[in-house]
Amino acid sequence: MSTVEPALGTAAPAGVSSHAIFGRVMGLVAVTVAFAAAGVWIGRDLSGWQWFVPWLFALGCLIGLNVANARRKQGLALTLLFAFGLLLGISIGSTVHYYAATDSKAVAQAAAATALFTAALGAGGYATRRDLSALYRILFWLLLALIVFGIVLIFINIPGGATIYALLGLAIFAGYVLVDFNRLRRAGSDEVIPLAAGIFLDIFNIFLLFLQLFGRR
């Protein structure tokens, strides 16, 4: 989920190629995904509520990187971005390990589906000339409703509820991918790190949702 909304109609500053911005953002996303993968291996033996500690620190890193970026402390913001990916990976390590142990194909299929899903929607969002920033507010409320639905599922057994949750989540994050890549089309160099964090978070959630779908077989 993206964390900082740009002004409507903004474009990459003169002298900075939009393709260069795209390359920098996607490069950071790739490195952050690598840190998350390392975190999954580190956190593979977590049990109970131990996952919550790295998740909480990851949230702090996300807030911190936006503050550091706003204050133009790029080195600190970059460090917090990679720490964010590592900690989120640690927080889901035991979950991924469980799926890998119970269905060896589920993790690989979820990763492949995530790559194809993100690439297709990202290309569509980046190719769209119209500014889609207004959709951020709608997506935020839809995501909040999904979280409430997830809490309800904890206490009430709804037939097929987990599958419905995953499909609704994919629809919402499909919107986030479209909007984030559309924003990337006109982003400035000062938005590189927050955008990388937002796109990484989209990918992270999409992977978990696909893992839930493939693992339920």
Residues in the chain, how many?
A: 217
In degrees, rounded to 5, the angle at the alpha carbon of residue 204 between the alpha carbons of residues 66 and 200 is 40
Mean pLDDT of the chain: 89
Which residues constitute the domain of residue 164?
18-215
Residue 47 has pLDDT above 60, yes or no: yes
Domain count, the chain: 1
Q: Is position 7 within any domain?
A: no
Q: Is residue 11 part of a domain?
A: no
H or E element at residue 179: helix 161-185
Residue 81 and residue 62: Cα distance in Å, rounded? Answer: 7
Confidence of residue 157 (pLDDT cuts 50, 70, 90): confident
Position 4 pLDDT exceeds 50: no
- Please report the pLDDT score of residue 217 as a whole number: 57
Note the pLDDT of residue 9: 36
Report if residue 106 sits inside a domain. yes
Residue 10 falls inside a structural domain? no
Mean pLDDT for the stretch of residues 175-183 = 96
Closest CA to 2 of 186, 207, 180, 189: 180
Residue 10 has a pLDDT of 39
Exposure string for 3-17, b = 16+ CB within 10 A, e = fewer = eeebeeeeebeeeee
Residue ranges of alpha helices (H) inside 6-160 are 18-42, 52-70, 74-91, 93-102, 104-127, 135-155
CB atoms within 10 A of CB 81: 27
Specify the higher pLDDT residue, 6 or 115: 115
| Residue 2 in domain | no
Q: What is the pLDDT of residue 7?
A: 35
* Distance (Å, whole) CA 102 – CA 140: 34
Query: How far apart are alpha carbons 34 and 129 in whole angstroms?
Result: 31
